Amino acid sequence: MHELPLTHRIFAQAMKAAEENRAVRIDAVYLKVGEMRDFVEEITQKYWDYISKGTIAEGAKIRFIRVPAAASCSDCGEIFNFDWRTKEKTACPRCHGTDVSLYSGAELEVVRIAII
C-alpha cells in the first residue's frame, strides 16, 4: 500500500517536469529502485494508470532500474554485493571485516522522464 503515496509523488514530479518543458505527453518514467526497497512494479504501474487517467501521462510506462544491495568495507574499502535477507552479519569477502556500511540498495529516485 505504500506504493500509492510514492506513486503520487513520482506523478507530481513527472507532471512538473513535463510542464517546465512544455511537453504534450509523458511516455515513460524511469525509476532507480534499490533491491532492499519493497516497491512492486505491477502495483506501481496500476496506481500510475489510475492517477494519470485523463492527463498527458495517461498510458506512460513506469520502468524500474533495479540496484543490487552492496556494502562498503571500512577496513579495506572493498565494495561488494551481499544478500540483505540473511540474518548473519555481513562480512567483507576480501578481508572478512564486519565494519561495513550500506553502499547501495535503498535507492528510490526518478532518473529520467521520457516526454514529447
Binding residues for Ni(2+): 2
Which region holds residue 88: left if phi is over 0, alpha if psi is between -120 and 50, else beta?
A: beta
C-alpha torsion 34→9→17→46, nearest 10: 80
Cell of 56: 498527458
Binding residues, as ranges, are 2, 73, 76, 92, 95
Residue 50: CB atoms within 10 A of its CB come to: 10
Angle between helices 3-20 and 41-52 (to 10 degrees): 50
Binding residues for Zn(2+), as ranges, are 73, 76, 92, 95
